Amino acid sequence: MKKLFSLLLMLTVAIAIVAGCSTNDDSNDSGSSSDKKSDEVFKIGALPDQNAADLSRSMDVLSNYLSEETGLKVEYVPSVDYAALVTAFERGEIDMAWFGGLTGVQARNLVPEAEAFAQRPRDKEFHSIFIAQNSVKADTLADLKGLNFTFGSESSTSGHLMPRYFLTKEGIDPEKDLDGQPNYSGSHDKTYKLVESGAFKAGVLNEAVWEAAVAEKKVDTNKVKVIHTTPSYYDYHWTINEVDDKFGEGTKDDMKKAILAINKDNADLKEFLDLFQTDSFIETKNENYNTIEEVAKELEIIK
């Protein structure tokens, strides 16, 4: 009887050990799954609205900073054009992006849970700059009638949407009142080069790119002049996708904190800050771009 009792006791202990090992294996598997989440690459994007090489270098600098601040592997993924960035964001291929006012609205219409959370201080009151060749007799928007003209990208807020809106308020229909159909250069730096070269007599671009081009002598102001600065509007901003399910709880908050913590004392970010022409970012919210959406609907650029 004692032998039988001992045998049963040993069998019970053996079963308990096996069950414990099985539980530990399950826990390890669960841990591996969590580790795999943290190994995901967090991908950021930005509007390709200026020189691609300069933008890529600057965004790589930002990626390194975000990696250090959040512990995630962060990588910049270039986009061929504005529409490609919006599409990549919709598909979840881009987790956080630097959008303009219009593209941000488009992206959040496709991904309702996405959040606009940061902008440069200047983006609360942004402007477009209309330019013309110095040899052209154009000093106001009204003088653009009959001239050949270039916008930036069709999806650009400062290079197309708002300039088109202000032209229509001036009584100018870009499809009827210019010399031929308007051109779309694709980026702000190309716009001022097209006007400078004489390919187009006038054009429009965002104020930040224009100011940088003048300061860095990338544009010849003996050939190109400013004829009009628009009223202000909200424009560029960071929008983040719904990332916590993909990377772990708190990821969104960590990224937001990292962006909002950027300041001029971040020496490692100098190249990034110089290109973006800022020394900090401030909070914003989706509702700040309602006017952009209303204008886009009025001009039938979005439905």
Q: What fold characterizes domain 38-124+235-298? A: D-Maltodextrin-Binding Protein; domain 2 (3.40.190)
pTM of the model: 0.83
- Three-state secondary structure string covering 9-50: HHHHHHHHHHHHHHHHHHHHHHHHHHHHHHCCEEEEEECCCC
The reported pLDDT for the residue numbered 74 is 98
CA–CA gap between residue 235 and residue 277 (Å, rounded): 14
The reported pLDDT for the residue numbered 129 is 98
Residues of the chain with CATH 3.40.190.10: 38-124+235-298, 127-229
Residues of the chain with pLDDT under 70: 1-38
Q: What fold characterizes domain 127-229? A: D-Maltodextrin-Binding Protein; domain 2 (3.40.190)
The reported pLDDT for the residue numbered 124 is 97
The reported pLDDT for the residue numbered 38 is 58
What does the pLDDT look like over 201-256, one tens digit per residue? 999 999 999 999 999 999 999 999 999 999 999 999 999 999 999 999 999 999 99
Positive/negative CA dihedral, 219, 137, 205, 182: negative
SS3 at position 278: coil
The reported pLDDT for the residue numbered 303 is 81
